[in-house]
Amino acid sequence: MNDHKEKILKICNASCENTLMETLDIEYVDVGPDFLIGKMPVTPKVHQPDGVLHGGAMVALAESVGSAACFIFLDAQQYVVRGIEISANHVKSIAEGFVFAKATFIHKGRTTQVWDIKITDEKDQLISVCKLTTIALPRK
């Protein structure tokens, strides 16, 4: 991994301290010119009562990765980024291991951005498909 990628991932992971991302053990693991990938362990602390990954935890992972991607691909010094809508289609259950969320742009506007976020397991099987809309507001 080159120094630039390592620096970006280090900054993203440092931003998780004392946040929901830390609570869910989300870690940013790869970044490229048009994507960011985060991973989350699937343990009982993110299960729903019947022992599989809770859909809300998947949505939190998706929004975390999409929002972090905004900060990477937009000028975070000039803008505050907020999620304004998220939708998720859960297509497969998982009870253990890791899930990976890969955020890529569908639309990169000056004010709004739309992200495609696919959540997969360790075998690259699709678990959930999410769409996140974010807004970039000028810092005051």
pLDDT digits (tens, 9 = 90+) for 100-130: 999 999 999 989 999 999 999 999 999 999 9
Give percent of the chain with pLDDT exceeding 90: 84
Q: What pLDDT does 133 receive?
A: 97
- Report the CATH number at residue 20: 3.10.129.10
Give pTM, 2 decimals: 0.94
Tokens representing 55 are: 């859909």
- 63-113, pLDDT tens digit by residue? 999 999 998 888 778 888 899 999 999 999 999 999 999 999 999 998 999
Residue 1 has pLDDT above 80, yes or no: no
Spatial separation of the C-alpha atoms in residues 126 and 94, rounded to whole Å: 10
Residue in 6, 22, 63, 85 annotated catalytic: 63
The DSSP result for 75-101, as a single string, is: TTTTEEEEEEEEEEEE-----SEEEEE
- Domain total of the chain: 1
Asked whether 43 and 94 are in contact (CB, 8 A), the reply is no
Phi, psi of 50 (to 5 degrees): -90, 10
User: What is the chain's Cα-based Rg?
Assistant: 15
Residue 27 falls in the annotated catalytic set = no
3-state secondary structure of 8: helix
- 25-58, pLDDT tens digit by residue? 999 999 999 999 999 999 999 999 999 999 999 9
Q: How many CA atoms lie within 13 A of 86 on its CB side?
A: 23
* Tally: H helices and E strands in the chain: 3, 6
Spatial separation of the C-alpha atoms in residues 119 and 126, rounded to whole Å: 6
As a whole number, the mean pLDDT across the chain is: 94
* Domain residue limits at 38: 3-138
